[in-house]
């Protein structure tokens, strides 16, 4: 499909950090290399409320800390740098501080996709256009506001149904995202990392990814 990298999901069965020992992590990197792919980063979407739930907090925090260590182990596929983790930084101050401290210890960058992103040392910004559109803010304005703190940019649109969907050249203008303005904002801000086609909730993800790739590349 002509992609150069792939975003890993730390909550996907088979890719959860606790399920991957050292050998499995080497195998994962080898599989990516065989397909001429680099890992672009790690997704870890854990609801912030889980960190305030006595029954879920320990497991949620453990999942993030383990993902940070996975980001280090996967650096051989990203030019020697630990992968950036995209997440929603918990509002629980103790949990958030533990996560930030662990990330700084290992040299792992965190891209907080909260709206607004929390202002913390060592924490960058992640932009999900759909989330910003649903909040009534233009994603290109969010990119400009994030400036040099932007660590992760995603690509998806809001359909008339209110659901997430791909960029489409078959039905231009159906979605709410001004993709050209978004791309220009990323360029002007100096963003040079991967732009992640975010296929969560898409009804036909493979066709949607192809359509999104084609529309984005032509802009």
Query: Tens of pLDDT along 146-171?
Result: 999 999 999 999 998 889 999 987 66
Distance CA 101, CA 16 (A): 21
Q: Note the pTM of the prediction, 2 decimals.
A: 0.92
Confidence tier at 122 by pLDDT (50, 70, 90): confident
Mind listing the domains of the chain with CATH numbers?
Answer: 1-112 (3.20.20.150), 126-219 (no CATH)
Cα–Cα separations (whole angstroms), residue 214 to 131, 179, 187, 188: 23, 12, 18, 22
- Say what the pLDDT of residue 121 is: 80
For 104-176, strand residue ranges (E) read 110-112, 123-127, 150-155, 157-158, 164-165
Residue 40 CA to residue 84 CA, distance in Å, equals 8
Distance between CA 77 and CA 103 in Å, rounded?
19
Question: Could you say which DSSP state residue 8 is in?
Answer: E
What are the pLDDT digits (tens) for 181-219?
Answer: 999 999 999 999 999 999 999 999 999 999 999 999 999
């Amino acid at each position: 499909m002509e992609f150069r990298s792939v975003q890993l999901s730390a909550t996907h069965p088979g890719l959860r950090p606790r399920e991957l020992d050292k050998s499995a992590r080497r195998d994962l990197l080898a599989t990516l290399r065989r397909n001429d792919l680099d890992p672009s980063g790690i997704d870890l979407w854990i609801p912030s409320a889980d960190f305030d739930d006595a029954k879920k907090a320990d497991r949620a925090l453990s999942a993030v800390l383990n993902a940070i260590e996975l980001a280090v182990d996967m650096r051989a596929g990203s030019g020697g740098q630990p992968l950036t983790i995209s997440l929603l930084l918990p509002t629980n101050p103790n949990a958030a501080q533990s996560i930030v401290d662990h990330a700084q210890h290992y040299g792992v960058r965190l891209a907080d996709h909260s709206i607004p992103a929390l202002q913390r040392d060592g924490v960058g910004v992640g932009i999900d256009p759909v989330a910003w559109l649903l909040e009534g803010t233009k994603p290109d304005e969010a990119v400009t506001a994030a400036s040099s703190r932007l660590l992760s940019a995603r690509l998806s649109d809001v359909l008339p149904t209110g659901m997430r969907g791909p960029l489409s050249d078959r039905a231009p203008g159906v979605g709410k995202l001004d993709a050209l303005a978004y791309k220009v904002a990323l360029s002007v801000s100096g963003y040079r990392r991967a732009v992640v086609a975010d296929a969560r909730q898409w009804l036909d993800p493979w066709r949607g990814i192809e359509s999104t790739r084609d529309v984005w590349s032509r802009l």
